[in-house]
Amino acid sequence: MKPKKVLIFAILGAFLAGIVFIGGVFFASGNYWMDRVQANSEESVDSDSSSPPGVGASTIADIVEKAGPAVVKIETYVSTKSQSNTYFDDPLYRQFFGQFDYTPEQKVQQGVGSGFIISTDGYILTNEHVVSDAQEIQVSIADVEKPVSAKVIGSDEELDLAVLKIDAGKDLPTIKLGKSSAVNVGNWVIAIGNPYSLDHTVTVGVISAKGRPITVQDRNYRNLLQTDASINPGNSGGPLLNLQGEVIGINTAVGSEAQGIGFAIPSDTVSKVVDDLIKEGKVTRGWLGVEIQDVTQSIADNLGLEDLEGVLVRSVTSGGPAEKAGVEKGDIILSWNGSKVKNTDQLLDYVGAEQSGKQVKLTVWRDKKTAELTVTLGER
């Protein structure tokens, strides 16, 4: 064979070998990257649980499955009179038979709300505004075929809390009250309720803020939890749960002009009064007998205060607990039983948390020096 042809065949063979080699490299590389893509896809499937970041795939579902049966739907009714027989409006009929007041009562649904069972024998927590003025209350339970009649055992308009009692003829599922003080802004929470009569609707969000004061339809709320978990009409009275399945709030209000802003009564507030509501039917609060306002910069300057903490006593009720203890108009209340008083809301919370007859030590600022007083609270 001529050298020229040998050279051509050698080049051609090297070329074909190169193609085979490069093809093998690309094939192996392709398999490698396909394996990586497949592995990443599997990891994505494993990690994508449709749950919030840092929450297990079944955490929320497990909580809802456990707590859901204890969440109830509350329907309230009032009786109204209506003219049901057109003959009574006929003047000729009335001329012969006289006047008749035929106005039979009809049961009309007043509203729908939520609640949750706190004892196996049928005590239920909800909002006071859910059941106020109701003549009849019906409670629907998950595993009970028909609604059960309920009665109000105790209620408090100021805190917007009510306790109902039902007799279902058997032990009922319950939810435990947790500690709202242990909840931090950013913690995940779960709301369960009946918005727009949609039974056992579940929404998820976070605690957006704590200690919020708001006013809703002439109700002044203090120290509420704020959440972006969807809360709508019908959610009122339902539980706001932490990731341990404990109630850390009672869903109460929603920002009507905003989205993602809902509010709940802290469970710590509920825990302090639930026994009073069950045993006494009301919340017994202490009474100090003063009119107060926050300390402004000008007040602090005039009275020689170094900061803006404390509350100014604007007036003292004659014969009230504060007057008897020696509190005077113009005093600045600095502390309550050793705890600093920062503003009027805090002092109101301190007073409201105590029972009548309780003795409390006050530190007041008067004549540019402090004085210690002991007051025995009255009942409001």
* Residues annotated as catalytic (active site), given as ranges: 129, 160, 236
Residue 264 near residue 187, CB atoms below 8 Å: no
In DSSP terms, 311 is beta-bridged to 294, 333
Cβ-proximal residues to 167 (8 Å cutoff; 6+ apart), any chain:
122, 148
Which alpha helices (DSSP H) does the chain contain, by range?
Answer: 3-47, 59-67, 91-97, 128-131, 267-279, 297-303, 321-325, 344-352
Q: Would you give the end-to-end CA distance of the chain in angstroms?
A: 121
The Cα–Cα gap between 370 and 207 comes to 39
Give the SS3 label for residue 337: coil
Residue 137 near residue 86, CB atoms below 8 Å: no
- Tell me the DSSP string of 7-45: HHHHHHHHHHHHHHHHHHHHHHHHHHHHHHHHHHHHHHH
Give the SS3 label for residue 96: helix
Give the SS3 label for residue 274: helix
Question: Of 116, 141, 136, nearest to 126 (Cα)?
Answer: 116
| CA-only gyration radius of the chain, Å | 34
The Cα–Cα gap between 282 and 275 comes to 9
